[in-house]
Structure 1
Amino acid sequence: MSKHILISVVGPTAIGKTSLSIQLAQHFNTEIVSADSRQFYKEMNIGTAVPSKEELNSAPHHFIQHKSIRDKYSVGDFERDAIKTIESIHNNNRTVILVGGSGLYVDAVINGLDEFPKVDSSIRETLNLRLKDEGLDSLQNQLKEIDKKAYNLLTINNPHRVIRALEICIGTGKPYSSFLTHKNKSRSFNTIMIGLMADRDVIYDRINKRVDLMIDTGLINEAKALYQFRNLNALNTVGYKELFAFFDGEISLDFAISEVKKNTRRFAKRQLTWFRKNKNINWFDYTIDVNKIIEFLENEIKKTS
């Protein structure tokens, strides 16, 4: 019996993953599982570049705006839910499309997460207070001192990742990195990974234009409506936190918009750094004819038959 297939579409933000995933879903007559953690929340629409209604209607989508910003939803929760959904789709379709630029969430589906011991929740609460009072630099320096390996491995500008590593270090008395076994979990499917790429200047230009479009289509009003929830983890993200600083009178609107662009470009750079470490990704220029990608996929799928 032929094994089920998961086609994973990755790449930096604004590169065209959504469009490609829809075309692949239509060709293979299947459904799309989103691994973009910013698009999980129903209150966040413009600032997370959620697919349009037309795009969502072009193919069945899962994990798009299925949670509230008030909900706690971890990457472990997503791994469990996504695997259940993929297996359900595989009951009727040999192929499923996984799309998203959140590297950790993509890896969780394909390889599974390392398992960490439970620690006292008060540790995280204390670290969150320190983040607020002392800033991220203080926590980064502590992690560098007690677990330099984790410091070098993690996306160090992400406060959630830094706090997670520190709470494990403090709660167990052992380095966070000692729990990173990188043992892949057994999956009921084979994965074929497709990556979209472009020159850095092209990516940055596409990002700048996307941000301008977000502003034109109402991002400021969307952020204003969410301002009262600004302390929630879901809103500590590019596109919102810069506008919150503008609402607080800390920076001008023009500077806030320029910061959104700059921080999104930095985010794209981190995405590329993450994905380039993965030797299983088959990279294609973002302008390539989709039929060439389909031809490649068809040939790869035949090898698994």
Structure 2
Amino acid sequence: MKFNLITILGPTATGKTKLAVQLADCFNGEIISADSRQVYRGMNIGTGKDLSEYFIDGRQIPYHLIDIIDPTEEFNLFSFQQSFYKSFDEIKSKNKLPFLVGGTGMYLSSVLQKYTLGKANFEKEKQILSSYSDDELRDILKDLNPSLHNTTDLNDRERIIKAIAVSKTEQEKTEAQNIKSLVIGVNLSRDEIKKRITTRLKKRLDEEGMIDEVKTLMDSGVSYDKMIFFGLEY
């Protein structure tokens, strides 16, 4: 086969998971999540894990990189890339086809563009950059890595610092990992996406218990700042 990976990407609420599950069922595949928040245990409603979608006719399609660490732990681009390669090799060893589904742009790029990464020290970088203004941090990131500058939330100080740390440890891209991916993009009109997001959020708040989920997370030791960092519904 020409491709050894199928990547399904696109905006939130466009049905990526449902499509991936259907294709994985047809082509003897397993799914690797490229969502930066679904790795965390206990964050089910706000991240839209929708684990029921991984079942077809009573059979579960195996998935990877969901519910693998606690929300109080650190998980970054380096962590994801290493975990992805481990899952990729595991799936291939079973003569099955990996499906990468997401999600988080930097995670997808680290695989598709074959980043070579070092293990970024975010806490050390945070201390070094603590005296810099937000504007200065944006300028540093732009000089280090314009592509990350264009895809990072530039209003979130911690995200900027993390992007700087990643940029300082990223070396040139390499072909060392033999990933040949077919990329399938999923999209809908802007109005339809907004409609789906609004409907989904109301359901999570009114029917699925998202407020209780947030309370449980904070009671378990997840700080207010960390909840803000998780973003979106949280």
Contact 2:21-2:53 at 8 Å conserved across structures: no
The one of 142, 145, 156 equivalent to 2:136 is 142
User: How far off its partner does 1:125 sit?
Assistant: 3.8
1:255-299 Cα offsets, whole Å, 9 max, x none, are: xxxxxxxxxxxxxxxxxxxxxxxxxxxxxxxxxxxxxxxxxxxxx
Contact 2:16-2:102 at 8 Å conserved across structures: yes
The yes-or-no answer on 1:11 pairing with 2:7 is no
User: How far off its partner does 1:188 sit?
Assistant: 2.5
The one of 223, 227, 230 equivalent to 1:230 is 223
In structure 2, what is the Cα distance between the partners aligned to 1:187 and 1:115? 12
User: How far off its partner does 1:75 sit?
Assistant: 1.2
- Compute the RMSD of aligned alpha carbons: 2.9
User: How far off its partner does 1:108 sit?
Assistant: 1.5
Q: Which is helix-richer, 1 or 2?
A: 1
Change (3 A) 1:197 1:121: closer
User: How far off its partner does 1:78 sit?
Assistant: 1.2
Change (3 A) 1:230 1:92: same
- Structure 1 unaligned blocks of 5 or more: 132-137, 169-175, 241-305
1:37-76 correspondence runs (5 A): 37-53=36-52, 55=54, 58-76=60-78
Give the partner amino acid of 1:162.
I
1:91-122 Cα offsets, whole Å, 9 max, x none, are: 22252111011011111122233545866944
1:1-305 correspondence runs (5 A): 2=1, 5-53=4-52, 55=54, 58-115=60-117, 121-125=123-127, 127=129, 138-139=133-134, 141-146=135-140, 148-149=142-143, 150=145, 152-155=149-152, 156-166=154-164, 183-216=173-206, 217-228=208-219, 229-231=222-224, 233=226, 236=229, 237-240=231-234
TM-score norm. by structure 1 comes to 0.64
User: How far off its partner does 1:5 sit?
Assistant: 1.3
Contact 2:78-2:118 at 8 Å conserved across structures: no
User: How far off its partner does 1:147 sit?
Assistant: 5.0
1:50-69 Cα offsets, whole Å, 9 max, x none, are: 12345255300111111101
Secondary structure at the residue paired with 2:37?
helix
In structure 2, what is the Cα distance between the partners aligned to 1:206 and 1:130? 41
In structure 1, what is the Cα distance between the partners aligned to 2:125 and 2:138? 18
% identical equivalent positions: 32
In structure 2, what is the Cα distance between the partners aligned to 1:119 and 1:38? 20
User: Whose Rg is larger?
Assistant: 1
Count residues in correspondence: 223
Stretch deviating more after TM superposition (180-189 or 80-89): 180-189
In structure 2, what is the Cα distance between the partners aligned to 1:90 and 1:26? 16
Secondary structure at the residue paired with 1:96?
strand
Secondary structure at the residue paired with 2:6?
strand
Give the partner amino acid of 1:142.
E
In structure 1, what is the Cα distance between the partners aligned to 2:210 and 2:119? 40
- Structure 2 unaligned blocks of 5 or more: none
Contact 1:39-1:64 at 8 Å conserved across structures: yes
In structure 1, what is the Cα distance between the partners aligned to 2:86 and 2:122? 29
In structure 1, what is the Cα distance between the partners aligned to 2:32 and 2:121? 31
Contact 2:28-2:96 at 8 Å conserved across structures: no
Moved over 3 A (4+): 114-123, 144-152, 157-161, 165-168, 179-182, 231-235
